[in-house]
Amino acid sequence: MIKIMLVDDHGMVREGLKYYLEVEDDIEVIGEAEDGESAAELAGELQPDVILMDLIMPNTDGVEGTKLCLAASPASKVVVLTSKAEDGLVLPAIKAGALSYLLKDVSAAELSTAIRKAAAGQPTLHPMASSRMMQEVSGAKGQNNKSPDQISPREMEVLKLIAQGLGNKEIAAQLFISERTVKTHVTHLLEKLDMRDRTQLAIYAIQNKLISP
């Protein structure tokens, strides 16, 4: 079972999410919170697999809530589920550690699929959120100060393909290497650049003009 925690300040939204998610055989809602701070406390106690996180909430918002939840439950995956691609919040949410960014107009089936992908460590970005993130990345200041020079030529090839949205299997086929070797390169990239996931690697590649938005 994939254990889910819901974080949203509207009780009706949480009830609706529970209604749709609990009909899935492999998904179980184990907790609810109405802001980021209370979510972090609950995440530390429950250690959920996936946290569905709203962004606009009173007291502690979803960006800060994402940071707090991942500090309390490092193995959890945060999926942002908000009403729109909030101006100036898409990139901060991803940098805070959110793996996926969805809008509340997704269908129940799309949400369930995104949750399963998140539990497996695979990101999902709503097209509008992806577009907004690219705009924020292109105009972002304070880039990661890790130099691309420390990345080997092969790792650079893998990084560029990650930024183009390719999975490990696709990268392996394109570079004529094994999928296990790709996973090793990805691990090295995450360690060298001090990052959490592939989405942050893609942002780094764009910010450092390794590929164009």
d(CA 205, CA 213): 9
CATH number of 148-207, picked from 3.40.50.1220, 3.30.300.20, 1.10.10.10, 3.20.20.80 = 1.10.10.10
Concatenating the DSSP letter of every residue in 113-132 gives HHHHHHHTT---B-HHHHHH
Mean pLDDT of 200-209: 81
For the CA atoms of 93, 63, 99, 146, what is the dihedral angle to 10 degrees? 60
What Rg do the C-alpha atoms of the chain give, in angstroms? 17
CATH number of 2-138, picked from 2.60.40.1730, 2.40.440.10, 3.40.630.30, 3.40.50.2300 = 3.40.50.2300
User: Average pLDDT over the chain, rounded to whole?
Assistant: 88
pLDDT band of 194, cuts 50, 70, 90: confident
Number of residues written out for the chain = 213
Give yes or no for residue 180 having a pLDDT over 60.
Answer: yes
Q: Where are the domains of the chain?
A: 2-138, 148-207
